[in-house]
């Protein structure tokens, strides 16, 4: 099969490897190089780096809406286009170019969490499970029929970064299954998405990472997990703005004002919330590195001494 692959971030790399092992990848589309790092020099996407390592040709158009871009795609004579977190909209004429259309690997159980940030939104919402869908693409946002899917549980303390890695591998597995069926002449049967249960995973915004202590502790604990490793939750802790890299909710009854430090010790720093308390286990001061609560308290003796208890 003549395959075209379109993807950009690290999430798409395992799927690119699968595509390269299941067919003739005639081109890899990825977004143009972007400024990155302190020097703001141009940096290639993870997919471009992997494509170059595999010796695959790379195309980086700014858009696929131009006549030139469509002609370039048609010239490749693709049987199938595989799209994994590409980041550019595919117009109808592009979707119709490959013989078998375009397949998308999406990190949710559609129709739940269509959109840009399905992994983070699933954790933030407290979902017990998620998964990956292989979808036949159409014009709508993640609305196409599902070809194959796999379900996995979400760990009670799993972060978005940890779940991201697991779903990237699962997505590659589901893609491999679909390609194997297609090569054997057994095209996966499309299943239309139900009208019930639709939800949208809107793109993350840095402003969301600022925690409000008046919210419930379990809500805040999910935000800490969902926003790690980006944008990382931050909060006011005893007069200091810190970033939270690890925290759990405690079903602790109290009458304290939200934001009050209830306890500070080697096991963590417990902060009063609208209901319950958030135990901070790992955090980061401005300009500092990530440390445990115990190490943080070495520099904040004012918290430890009066509040520590057995």
Give the residue numbers of the binding site: 108-111
Burial of 92 (0-12, 13-18, 19+ CB in 10 A): exposed
Q: Could you tell me if 160 and 170 are in contact, meaning their C-beta atoms sit under 8 angstroms apart?
A: no
Q: Which residues are annotated as a binding site for (6S)-5,6,7,8-tetrahydrofolate?
A: 108-111
DSSP state of 1: -
Distance CA 274, CA 11 (A): 36
Distance CA 254, CA 308 (A): 16
β-strands 290-292, 277-285: how paired? antiparallel
Find the helix packing angle between 13-22 and 46-54, rounded to 10°. 30
Closest CA to 259 of 282, 281, 284, 242: 242
Distance of CA 58 to the CA centre of its chain: 24
Q: What Cα–Cα distance (Å) separates residue 304 from each residue in 111, 184, 264, 269, 288?
A: 48, 65, 5, 9, 20
Q: What Cα–Cα distance (Å) separates residue 209 from each residue in 110, 242, 245?
A: 26, 11, 12
**Region for residue 259 given its phi and psi (left: phi exceeds 0; alpha: psi -120 to 50; beta: otherwise):** left
């Amino acid at each position: 099969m003549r395959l075209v692959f379109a993807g950009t971030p690290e999430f798409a790399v395992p799927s690119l490897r699968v595509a390269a092992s299941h067919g003739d990848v005639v081109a890899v589309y990825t977004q143009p190089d972007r400024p990155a790092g302190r020097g703001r020099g141009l940096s290639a996407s993870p997919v471009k780096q992997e494509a170059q390592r595999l010796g695959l040709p790379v195309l980086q158009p700014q858009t696929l809406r131009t006549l030139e871009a469509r002609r370039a795609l048609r010239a490749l004579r693709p049987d199938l286009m595989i799209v994994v977190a590409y980041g550019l909209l595919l117009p109808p004429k592009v979707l119709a170019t490959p013989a078998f259309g375009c397949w998308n690997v999406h990190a949710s159980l559609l129709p739940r969490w269509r959109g840009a940030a399905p992994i983070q939104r699933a954790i933030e919402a407290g979902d017990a499970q998620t998964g990956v869908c292989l979808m036949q693409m159409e014009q709508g946002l993640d609305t196409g029929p599902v070809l194959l899917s796999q379900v996995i549980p979400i760990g009670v303390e799993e972060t978005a970064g940890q779940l991201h890695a697991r779903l990237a591998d699962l997505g590659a597995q589901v893609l491999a299954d679909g390609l194997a069926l297609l090569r054997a002449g057994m095209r996966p049967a499309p299943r239309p998405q139900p009208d019930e249960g639709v939800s949208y995973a809107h793109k993350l915004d840095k402003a969301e990472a600022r925690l409000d202590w008046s919210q419930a502790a379990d809500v805040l604990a999910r935000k800490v997990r969902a926003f790690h490793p980006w944008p990382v939750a931050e909060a006011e802790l005893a007069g200091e703005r810190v970033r939270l890299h690890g925290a759990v909710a405690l079903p602790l009854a109290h009458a304290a004002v939200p934001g009050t430090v209830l306890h500070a010790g080697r096991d963590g720093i417990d902060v009063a919330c609208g209901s319950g308390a958030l135990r901070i286990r790992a955090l980061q001061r401005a300009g500092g590195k990530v440390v445990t609560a115990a190490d943080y308290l070495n520099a904040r003796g004012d918290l430890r001494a009066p509040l520590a208890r057995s």
